[in-house]
Structures are given as structure tokens and as C-alpha cells.
Amino acid sequence: MKPTVAPFPAARLRRTRKSGAIRALVRENTLTPDDLIWPVFVREGDGIEEPVASMPGVMRRSVDRIGDAAREAAALGIPAICIFPYIEQSLKTEDCAGAWDPDNLSNRAIRAIRTAAPDMVVMTDVALDPYNINGHDGFVVDGEIVNDATVEALVKMTLAQAEAGADIIGPSDMMDGRIAAMRGALEAAGHQNVMILSYAAKYASAFYGPFRDAVGASGALTGDKNTYQMDPANTDEAMRLVQRDLAEGADMVMIKPGMPYLDICRRVKDTFGAPTFAYQVSGEYAMIQAGAQNGWIDGEKVMLESLMAFKRAGCDGVLSYFAPEAARILNN
């Protein structure tokens, strides 16, 4: 239905913009800490809070400090944390066996968050790249990232994280058939209540650079990820991927990156009506921070405006490194 507006001066659209109170009264979208998932990086060691140079304000924390982050998030009203491990180069292997070790970094971090903030929702990342000597999300055989053998490994990784206490599994690998395999394995193992937030439309983007620094994958990566991540030119393909993952048992879906793909967010929400999330990725975060630090933009206002854009595009929530900063402002 096309909107209709009375002719001027009967319609003065500025009337509903005349004061902050009136603007709040007619505001179409709202942003609260409930909309945020905070991605955090964990590393080996004790008592470590190590800055990530390419992501100002972001740190890698040792497991003994990850509980502090969980308590901070809980106090701010942030409902969920997503764990990403930083693996030393010397521990990366061809077989990626560390990915499903019950005592790996991610699984210890899950248990630490469970102890520190029992009500915190814990999300994990499922992909082999942090553990892979080749830096890829899947096994590399004769230069090819193989699909089916990778899915078998991802299922083992999924079950290890579920056993450790994860609430939400976040497969970010973009292998075909992994959602059905993960859902079947979770059901068979008695983890019926563990959710899958599928990175259903993950693009082969240049916006991931600082993240790869943060998890130690930049130097390891051989080649590119174009054979399994999406072509940035495609939109209809994203719809097919989302439809498939929902049919295979995903509870929620993710679009990644975020702001450059708000059109995908809107199409996904309008088409499927499923819980839809976006990831405001490291490159987006770093650009806003760099602009703010150079005095080119008002960092606080741009941060909040960028987060509101996700809600306006139909997202139910967003993964953002700004989560604690944004929550402090929103709470006030």
C-alpha cells in the first residue's frame, strides 16, 4: 500500500520532529542492550588483556579474565557473548584437531563464562580457520577446500562446544550441508536445546582484515576464501542459502558483513520472518574508530547510528565490538 500524505499545510511533517519527547513518541525503531551480542577474543596465558592494534578498544583476554568480561556484559544488560579463540601459529595443524579438543581455548572460555555469569547466553564460532595451518575454514587437499570431510570435523567441533555448555552454535564456515549434519548430531547427543545461529549469507569480504589479525589467521591464510564464501555481487543466492539453512534446522540466521549488506538483511527478514542477525565486522568497527580518533566524525553518534541501521533493516540483533560502549550509553 502506498503511503498517502495530506497536502501542505494540512500536513506539516516537521510537527512530529519538534522536540525530543515527540520524536521518541513516534520513533519507528528502538535500540537497547538486548539487541547486542558482544564478540570477545580469548587467548592462552594468565592475567592477560592484550590490545588488538587494528581494533582500538578491543582486547584479547586470557581465560582467567574472560569471566570479568562476562560480568561486565551482564551488568550492562548485554544478553550474549560470542567467543573467538586466538591460536598461536605453532599450535595450528593440518588436521585442525585442536578445534574439537574438549579443553581448547573456546571450551575453557565457555566454562569460565558459565561460572562467572550463569545467565549469560554463550555463543561460539564453528570454523576451522583458527586451528588450520592454512588459515582456511575447511581442510585443504591439493589446493582445494574440501566440503564433506570439513563438515565431519565441524560436527565434532559442535559437539565439543555443546558439551562445554554453549547455548548457541555459530557455524561461520559456509560449507554445504553443515547445518543438517550439526542439527542431527546435536539431537542424537541429547543437546536438543542448543541453538544454531547460522552464518547463512557470509560474503567473501575485504572488511574482515582486522578480525584475522585478532585471531592470528592473517599470516596463516594461503590464497583466498572465494570458493566457499559468497560473491559480494549476489543477492538471490543469499536467499537460497538462508532458505536451505532454515530448512536444515537453523534457528536463526546471520548476514556478514553488516552495513554494506543491509539490503540482504531487509530481504531476509521480509522473505522468511526468521530471527535475523547481522555482524558489524572488524573492518566496519575499525573505520568508525579511526574516523573518530582522527576527529573526522563524532564516534559516539556514528556508532549508535550504525547500530540503529541494523534494526531499521529488520535485524533482531547485531554482533558488535561496540556492544559494551553502546550499552553504557543506552543505559543512560
Can 256 be counted among the known catalytic residues? yes
- For the chain, what is the radius of gyration of the CA atoms? 20
DSSP single-letter state for residue 133:
T
Annotated catalytic residue within 92, 256, 269, 311? 256
Beta-bridge partners for 145: 140
List the one residue out of 85, 109, 116, 110 whose CA is nearest residue 98.
85
Can 92 be counted among the known catalytic residues? no
Q: How far is CA 174 from CA 36, 157, 301, 318, in A?
A: 23, 15, 34, 19
- Burial environment of residue 247 by CB neighbours within 10 A (0 to 12, 13 to 18, 19 or more): exposed
Q: How far is CA 332 from CA 112, 141, 301, 318, 320, in A?
A: 29, 53, 14, 20, 19
Beta-bridge partners for 320: 280
φ, ψ for residue 326, nearest 5 deg: -65, -40
Q: Distance between CA 322 and CA 325 in Å, rounded?
A: 5
3-state helix, strand, coil in the chain (%, to 5): 45, 20, 35
Annotated catalytic residue within 202, 225, 269, 311? 202
Cα-Cα end-to-end distance for the chain:
38
For 214, residues 6+ apart whose C-beta sits below 8 A from its C-beta are 41, 52, 54, 55, 58, 60, 84, 86, 282
Active site residues: 202, 256
